[in-house]
């Protein structure tokens, strides 16, 4: 789940995007997913990579080890 940010990513420059604080949090049901499951994080547009890294950190801190990412466009 992603909380609302101060302004849309499209309105931020590269530095602002890189400095954007963590806005993701795991849903309570994340604890019900077996930790040996493969996690695939999808993102529509890869610009700085921060969105994927924030989401990756949530799964990593929850104990998942097999985490991959995929973006549709760069």
Poorest-pLDDT segment among 3-7, 45-49, 59-63: 3-7
Residue 31 has pLDDT above 60, yes or no: yes
pLDDT band for position 1 (cuts 50, 70, 90): very low
pLDDT for residue 4 is more than 70:
no
Residue 67: per-residue pLDDT: 95
Q: How many CA atoms lie within 13 A of 63 on its CB side?
A: 8
Q: Give, in order, the Cα–Cα distances in Å from 27 to each of 35, 36, 58.
A: 15, 18, 10
Q: Residue 3 has what pLDDT? A: 52
pLDDT digits (tens, 9 = 90+) for 47-59: 788 888 888 999 9
């Amino acid at each position: 789940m992603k909380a609302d940010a101060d302004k849309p990513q499209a309105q931020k420059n590269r530095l602002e995007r890189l400095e954007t604080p963590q806005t993701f949090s795991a849903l309570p049901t994340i604890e019900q997913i077996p930790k040996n499951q493969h996690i695939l994080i999808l993102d529509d547009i890869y610009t700085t990579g921060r969105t994927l890294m924030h989401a990756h950190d949530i799964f990593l801190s929850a104990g998942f080890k097999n985490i991959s990412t995929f973006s549709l466009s760069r």
